Amino acid sequence: MLSHGTFVGERIANELRMHFRRERKSGTTVSLQETLEAGKDDTALTLSDVLQDGFCMEDSCEQQDEARRLRQLIEGLPARERKLILLRYGLAGQPPLTQLETAKLLQISRSYVSRLETHALELLREGWGGCR
């Protein structure tokens, strides 16, 4: 025997399947706010009510704050280290470069790129730990 919750869940899943079949045949766009079922007290069950949302605003805001903070720290690096970090990690809108590619572009040795990168990352670590 099915519990009431299981029955309701299966009914909702069935309604969703039927709704998507109808929409697929008509070729129209489905809105997340589209009513799937109306309740007795004028409440409506929408598609957004039944779909799981993995987005967490708090996590997104934290990531944006941390990205902003990192950009500020990078801007505070000496010019050569800043350029190197932007190139090595693809932070200037291009794909990340290898140490060898960066060395050729900056016309310095790969070992010097490695030393500059190590120094720049250390400065960023210090800045990151000291800004909180």
pLDDT tens digits for range 81-121: 999 999 999 988 899 999 999 999 999 999 999 999 999 99
Give residue 74's pLDDT band: very low, low, confident or very high (50, 70, 90): very high
| CA gap 73, 124 in Å, rounded | 6
Q: Would you say the pTM of this structure is higher than 0.85?
A: no
List the domains of the chain with CATH numbers: 4-50 (no CATH), 57-130 (1.10.10.10)
| CA gap 34, 20 in Å, rounded | 12
The whole-number pLDDT of residue 51 equals 66
Convert the pLDDT of each residue in 11-46 to its tens digit. Answer: 777 777 776 777 666 666 666 677 776 666 667 777
pLDDT at 1 over 50: no
pLDDT at 132 over 50: no
Q: What is the largest CA-CA distance in the chain?
A: 75
